[in-house]
Amino acid sequence: MTQQKKRTWLKEPLAILAEGAEGGLVVEGAQIAELVPAGGHPGDIDETVDCSGLVAVPGLINTHHHFYQTLTRAHPQAINKELFDWLKALYPVWGRALNRESFRLATRLALTELLMSGCTTVSDHHYVFPAGLDDAMDIQVEEAGRLGMRITLNRGSMDLSEKDGGLPPDSVVQTTDEILADCERVIKAWHDPTEGAFTQVALAPCSPFSVTTELMKQTAAMAKACNCRLHTHLGETHDEDAYCIEKFKCRPVDYLEETGWMDGRTWLAHGIHFNDEEVRRLGKAKVGVCHCPTSNMVLASGICRTQELELAGVSVGLGVDGSASNDNSNLMEGVRHALMINRLKYGAAAITHLDALRWATQGSAACLGRSDIGRIEPGMQADIAFYALDELRFSGAGDALAALVLCGAHRADKVMIGGKWQVEDGLPHGVDVARLRAEHGAIARKLAGAVT
Ligand SMILES: [Zn+2]
């Protein structure tokens, strides 16, 4: 006898980002079962949760981050620098600061910040593997599981150090063979391609200036063979263009093509400095781009061509990027920054709050190759973020969905993931926030020179 799944009516939110769901929605088990029109009343309900006063959106999806960087926020040696100088200042600090304990706490802290901002699925690009941190991906699975969040593990990598013409020091790179062996292990252990998956794997060499051409090619081949996704930093700065032209005699997008990465399984972090012809090629290949507005403004990297990319067929998602170039992990704040920077580029009428929210939900889901999350629709996973508009900053707002973005929502009141409440009354289950703040701060002071 099959057990009947519990049906919960999330009743009549103040506003909801879903057509025809003014009366709320019904969650059955892990999925959304039905949308309730205005004034409607669904049948066979086991539980009703009053959502009046709350604004509901699909759980936000973060498609680019570096959790470990929470240990080096506002680092005195790195602030006020652009990407290459910023990286050169931080590589040695990261090499010293990362061990299993600090990495676990950094991961827990970043995940908790994201969850509290309304994020339900994360993708972390981890590429620094100093000696002793071989099980970084496994630690991330444990920590995401503790909070009930979905994670795409990006098994990142660097195998090109200063002595071979790369940017990072020798102490933070691995050999090509070591990297490929661990990629294979991580895929076998954690890649779940099924609907509703909580752990998936993407292969993620760091960038053209920290990875060998051989590793780029072999990683692309492995991703195809194992049917997982590919991720890397590309098109972030003019320095990267100059590096590729000098070293590879071509531009970054040509390099992507030469190494077998112009593929629908690839999504790129940043994707700023593409010319018209490159935008067309990326769209034709169905490559995705994770727009990271906050980081791009902090490092003065440039403005992503979101509109041209989407028109060409590229899926545009959203990411906070690492917590040393943001310097926080709040994806709802990223939505607001996306609205602002894109308005500056394209005009106030061309980019709405709905566009910015779409990037953080549907667009991000497409970047991660997922069709089961990112929208509030029957059959989708029940990943939903609810925001209360009771803070001073919302008082007087006339459009509740627009208010989330324009007034600057930054903390969710409730978050559901796969039909389970993981945040209630603004606090996450599974983590003691005060204790986490104390433990993470202590280890960052000890290892990375933090003062708070
Ligand atoms: Zn990044």
Predicted confidence (pLDDT) per residue in 343-370, tens digit: 999 999 999 999 999 999 999 999 999 9
Residue 272 and residue 221 share a domain:
yes
- Whether 441 maps to a domain, the answer reads no
d(C-alpha 244, C-alpha 383), whole Å? 40
| Helix (H) or strand (E) segment spanning residue 420 | strand 420-424
Torsion of CA 436, 423, 290, 284, to 10 degrees: 150
pLDDT above 90 covers what percent of the chain? 96
C-alpha 319 to ligand 1 mean position (Å): 9
pTM of the model: 0.97
Residue 249 and residue 161 share a domain:
yes
Task: Give the tokens for residue 209.
Answer: 């200036």
- Whether 447 maps to a domain, the answer reads no
Residue 173 and residue 40 share a domain:
no
- Whether 26 maps to a domain, the answer reads yes
pLDDT per position as a tens digit, 271-315: 999 999 999 999 999 999 999 999 999 999 999 999 999 999 999
- Whether 440 maps to a domain, the answer reads no
Residue 147 and residue 292 share a domain:
yes
C-alpha 94 to ligand 1 mean position (Å): 14
- Whether 23 maps to a domain, the answer reads yes
Residue 321 and residue 187 share a domain:
yes
The answer on pLDDT for 1 being more than 70 is no
Q: What pLDDT score was predicted for residue 323?
A: 83
Residue 175 and residue 123 share a domain:
yes
Our CA angle for 252, 350, 297, nearest 5°, is 45
C-alpha 51 to ligand 1 mean position (Å): 36
- Whether 443 maps to a domain, the answer reads no
C-alpha 267 to ligand 1 mean position (Å): 12
Residue 137 and residue 38 share a domain:
no
C-alpha 374 to ligand 1 mean position (Å): 22
Residue 167 and residue 105 share a domain:
yes
C-alpha 323 to ligand 1 mean position (Å): 9
Residue 386 and residue 356 share a domain:
no
pLDDT per position as a tens digit, 8-67: 999 999 999 999 999 999 999 999 999 999 999 999 999 999 999 999 999 999 999 999
pLDDT per position as a tens digit, 365-393: 999 999 999 999 999 999 999 999 999 99
Q: Report, as an integer, the average pLDDT of 238-246.
A: 95
Q: Report, as an integer, the average pLDDT of 152-178.
A: 94
C-alpha 337 to ligand 1 mean position (Å): 17
pLDDT band at 2 (very low <50, low <70, confident <90, very high): low
- Whether 438 maps to a domain, the answer reads no
Task: Give the tokens for residue 46.
Answer: 């086991």
d(C-alpha 248, C-alpha 353), whole Å? 40
Q: What is the mean pLDDT of the chain?
A: 96
C-alpha 63 to ligand 1 mean position (Å): 10
Q: What is the CATH number of the domain that holds 327?
A: 3.20.20.140
Q: What is the CATH number of the domain that holds 393?
A: 2.30.40.10
Q: Report, as an integer, the average pLDDT of 189-208.
A: 97
What is the secondary structure of 82-102 as a DSSP string? Answer: -HHHHHHHHHHHHHHH--HHH
Last residue within a domain, chosen from 298, 332, 367:
367
Q: What pLDDT score was predicted for residue 171?
A: 85
pLDDT per position as a tens digit, 319-330: 999 988 999 999
C-alpha 232 to ligand 1 mean position (Å): 8
C-alpha 10 to ligand 1 mean position (Å): 36
C-alpha 284 to ligand 1 mean position (Å): 24
d(C-alpha 335, C-alpha 29), whole Å? 29
Cis ω for the linkage preceding 390 (within 30 of 0): no
d(C-alpha 259, C-alpha 218), whole Å? 9
C-alpha 36 to ligand 1 mean position (Å): 40
Give, in order, the Cα–Cα distances in Å from 451 to each of 67, 442, 443.
Answer: 19, 9, 11
The answer on pLDDT for 3 being more than 80 is no
C-alpha 65 to ligand 1 mean position (Å): 6
pLDDT band at 172 (very low <50, low <70, confident <90, very high): confident
Total domain count, the chain:
2
With contact defined as beta carbons under 8 Å apart, do 373 and 365 qualify?
Answer: yes
Q: What pLDDT score was predicted for residue 399?
A: 98
Residue 177 and residue 103 share a domain:
yes
Residue 28 structural domain: 7-58+375-428
Q: What pLDDT score was predicted for residue 136?
A: 97
Residue 182 and residue 48 share a domain:
no
Strands (E), 305-364: 315-318
pLDDT per position as a tens digit, 101-115: 999 999 999 999 999
The β-bridge relationship of strands 150-157 and 47-50 is unpaired
pLDDT band at 342 (very low <50, low <70, confident <90, very high): very high
- Whether 45 maps to a domain, the answer reads yes
